[in-house]
Structure 1
Amino acid sequence: MSVLHAAKKQDIPEFFSKDDTCPECRSERYLNQSMKLLVSPCYHELCEACVHRTFEAGPAPCPVCHRILRMNEYYQRIFEDLTVENEVRIRARMAMTYNKREGDFKSLKDYNDYLEMVEDLVVRQLYGDDTGEVEYVIEKYKRENNSLIEKNQSKQQREENLHSLYAKEERLRKQKQREEYLKILEEEERERRMPRTA
């Protein structure tokens, strides 16, 4: 599940500031309230209009760092700090691949070693210069563990569906409880207003 999808599911609004300015066309949110700043995978911002203008003909270099990008790689920003945005996206991506659970290991030590190895890869992606080597390690792990990764992804999807179903049932139960309580209150109010016979 993408971070943006998860954020929308939880009704987390995109981050914006009244001081936002597009670095390309210099449009300011102060003057253009409907302006949307989008973020690239290299964590540089452009307004939606500049993204369309720059990438409508196909892949083009990022105006800031010149990395080749596509229009569909830009997304709405969720966090104020772009380093947090970067870390959350890296962790979400890693969780899709490195999704083994404690039950997949013979001992707790093996599981903890696995978690430490995953954390090391996350830190290397965040702060290291060896992103090519990290990508190689991730791709190799995917090839070697493809069936287990898919099995755990489908297990997680079933659990999320079940959780969603339980949450929906709980909301309906609470709503029904509330409606019954309001009926009781209305009935008590009606009885209170009825004239009493002596």
Structure 2
Amino acid sequence: MRTRIRVAVADDNAVVRMGVRSLLATADDLEVVWEAGDGAAAVALARAKRPDVLLLDVRMPRQDGVSAAAELAAETAVLMLTYSDSPDVIAAALRAGVRGYLVHGHFSEDELLQAVRMVARGLGTFSAQAVAVLRDPAPSQERLAARFGLSVREAEVMALVAEGAANGDVARELFISEKTVKNHINRIFAKLGAQNRGHAVALWLGATAR
């Protein structure tokens, strides 16, 4: 049998927690292992029980979700699940190392399930609302390339990856082979100091908010 993805939910709203838990229960490959009603409890439980994915709200008592993410992002895959679409909050969450940021009301139930699976695999996932906030106004690719020491082609590849494009999609868009795309991505990771695809996307999108 395929190993289930162990998911934790941290939100101070019990109704939201119940709704998320009920939705995740409909997927055979996902399992909610615990819930927390505040940020401090989320940090303590995450360190003790090590979930594969932690869904974090931004505004919670005792400790906010962004500071909790900063403590936990190196240990577990953090997906922000919140009503906050503040550019400052989104940028801070990305700098904290979250692998995804979803804004309530801007994703479907299926998209949330898929987002959990993606961050568990190390892939970044962001609601269109979050990406739109980060890119208004967006620095030019040339400026971002210079900031990270990327070539123009590497910046083009990274921009497509940040939009959620798979390697095959990038290859078709830029008329290059998938092997070339993989080589570009490996060099991009090295230049960004990124540990994985989700980390690279977070760094790239975080730069657009500065």
TM-score (norm 1): 0.25
- Look at both structures and tell me which one has the larger radius of gyration over its CA atoms: 1
Higher relative contact order at CA 8 Å, sep ≥6: structure 1 or structure 2?
2
More strand by share: 2
More helix by share: 1
